[in-house]
Amino acid sequence: MTDRRSYWAWGMESQEPTPAKREAAAKAMSERFGASLDTVQARSVEQLDLRPSRITAPDTLSEIVTADTYERAFHTYGHSFRDRIRKFSGDFQNPPDLVAYPRNEADVVSLLDWCGGAGYAAIPFGGGSSVVGGVESPEGYDGVVTLDMTRMDRVLEVDDISRAVRVQGGTLGPLLEAQLKPHGFTMRHFPQSFEYSTVGGWIVTRGGGHYATNHTHIDEFVESVRMVTPAGPWESRRLPGSGAGPSPDRLALGSEGILGVVTEAWMRIQGRPRFRASTGVSFPSLESVSDAARAIAQAKLWPANLRVLDPGEGQAMAGLDGKTAILIIGFESAEVPQDAFIHEAVAIARDYGGQVDDDEIVISPAPEGARASNDAAGRQGAVGAWREAFISLPYDWNDITGLGVIADTFETSITWDRWPEFDNAVRSATQDALNRVCGGGSVTARFTHIYPDGPAPYYSFTGLGKPGSELSQWAEIKTAASDAVIAAGGTITHHHAVGRDHRPWYDKQRPDLFAAALRATKQAVDPSSILNPGVLIDP
């Protein structure tokens, strides 16, 4: 049987944890929390009980539309903590009625025409990696059709002079990279969801990726966007830069499927890195490592990687001692040796009390005259450990779902002047909620992206809840954390998007008149309000 995405776990069905693996995870968690946690096994698709589809597609669309239970279940949710619990517990109250797989833009147009005429909601769906309720069916519609874009997955054109690619919106990360590789290029947009997120999804959620400084969000890599809206096509001109009115692309970026479906985009691409330089610098405190990160960012050396792990995160993700913070620094280039750059960055880090031996600075290819060093710079030591943990995290969560463990993350950004107070406020609000709800737990933080004017902190929290009550327990912690983020001046999301889950805080954050502008814009391009209703603004 062909492999397919797991309806509940991150990854493919073949990657679902075995019963033995889940039992081992239960044992480990029992030890960690001093409790006795029972392993429940996941339901099979056949055991799921979904409300029958309320609608039927016209014959002209039957080839690309399905009411199959697996398809409807898989497309009901994204991959947030809340989604994981609901899927694992068999809670599929409000699935889409139909799932469509458009093969081309004409199919997208037909689907939107049909939904618009019938008053059905249409939910654009890329890789389904949303952690903010971005792909859920809304209430109050007679029918809901999810548009799974992953059949539109081709690179259509590579411009190797300008270094740009025309690619379809439904192309998943690995498929994009595989199609670029023969041309010697890479997009290098590697969110944690890379395997199961699409170019179109990156664009409409303003995804953040590989690069920790300078151009961090997908925004900066967009040369032009083509969307299909219910009112017709929206396509910007391909340009390296422009000052002609407000940027049309910047309105598509972050629109989260409420304005249109991204069918194609011209994206800026990179030469494949040949030169690398990386290291991990140890610091005695979060304060000192933050100061060093700020100084490197303000010196505008623009390392590809510049990530701070606080002592807790350093212990959990990179095997450190729990007292040491670490600054991971990585430079890379297709054209230029990076020795000089990393030495400047390390010199700044040392000025702020950072500790690193010269022979822990890994440069590849090794500079002439130096002793040979491992060619896979950035793949070993604390840096390598962190990278492994980063990629495997969503799979680790598969193992513990349903045990009662509450484990989630949230991310934000804040200007440097507010940073230490912001961290104190957010951390203590989250810790207090964990103590209240779970009788304890851990809160750790890292910086995923660093700007000259402030960091993007990414918090992880874990506590032991009660199986069956995880959702309300989680909601109390998430609410406390989000309230603190907004009260202390942060953004409710740096790169995870707003969706439905972040709405209460987003509504406090954005200018009211911008919401009015967005509603007016939606009315202009989606007059029947069929596209992803409830996301960003009220229908």
Min CB(147)–its own copies separation in Å: 19
Q: Is 234 in the site for its own copies (CB under 8 A)?
A: yes
CB distance 435 to 441 below 8 Å: yes
Q: Is 206 in the site for its own copies (CB under 8 A)?
A: yes
Only segment of 6-14, 134-142, 432-440, 488-496 that touches its own copies (CB under 8 A): 488-496
- Give whichever of 235 and 432 is closer to its own copies, judged by the CB atom: 235
Helix (H) or strand (E) holding 147: strand 144-148
Separation between Cα atoms, residue 177 and residue 352, nearest integer Å = 38
Separation between Cα atoms, residue 389 and residue 395, nearest integer Å = 10
Min CB(450)–its own copies separation in Å: 9
Footprint on residues 317-336 left by its own copies (CB under 8 A) = 333-336
Only segment of 233-241, 276-284, 352-360, 422-430 that touches its own copies (CB under 8 A): 233-241
Q: Is 417 in the site for its own copies (CB under 8 A)?
A: yes
What is each CA distance from 464 to 9, 65, 423, 427, 537, in whole angstroms?
A: 20, 41, 23, 18, 34
Exactly one of 151, 154, 250, 436 binds its own copies (CB under 8 A); which one? 250
Which of 248, 112, 91, 123 has the alpha carbon at shortest distance from 534? 123
Exactly one of 41, 60, 62, 415 binds its own copies (CB under 8 A); which one? 415
Separation between Cα atoms, residue 204 and residue 200, nearest integer Å = 6
- Give whichever of 6 and 213 is closer to its own copies, judged by the CB atom: 213
Q: Is 236 in the site for its own copies (CB under 8 A)?
A: yes
CA–chain centroid gap for 247, Å, is 24
Q: Is 288 in the site for its own copies (CB under 8 A)?
A: no
Half-sphere exposure of 229 (CA within 13 A, CB side): 22
Separation between Cα atoms, residue 95 and residue 69, nearest integer Å = 10
Q: Is 209 in the site for its own copies (CB under 8 A)?
A: no
- Give whichever of 18 and 415 is closer to its own copies, judged by the CB atom: 415
Q: Is 524 in the site for its own copies (CB under 8 A)?
A: yes
Q: Is 511 in the site for its own copies (CB under 8 A)?
A: yes
| Six-digit token string for 361 | 């600075």
In the block, which residue shows the tokens 């075995």? 18
Exactly one of 151, 210, 238, 272 binds its own copies (CB under 8 A); which one? 238
Separation between Cα atoms, residue 419 and residue 454, nearest integer Å = 8
Could you give the string, one character per residue 89-128, with x where binding to its own copies holds by CB under 8 A and - elsewhere?
Answer: ----------------------------------------
Q: Is 52 in the site for its own copies (CB under 8 A)?
A: no
Q: Is 452 in the site for its own copies (CB under 8 A)?
A: yes
Footprint on residues 342-381 left by its own copies (CB under 8 A) = 344, 348
> Using alpha carbons only, what angle is made at residue 82 by residues 77 and 85, rounded to the nearest 5 degrees?
90
| Six-digit token string for 168 | 């379809």
- Give whichever of 56 and 242 is closer to its own copies, judged by the CB atom: 242
| Six-digit token string for 26 | 């239960």
Footprint on residues 140-179 left by its own copies (CB under 8 A) = 159, 161-164
Which of 11, 35, 16 has the alpha carbon at shortest distance from 406? 35
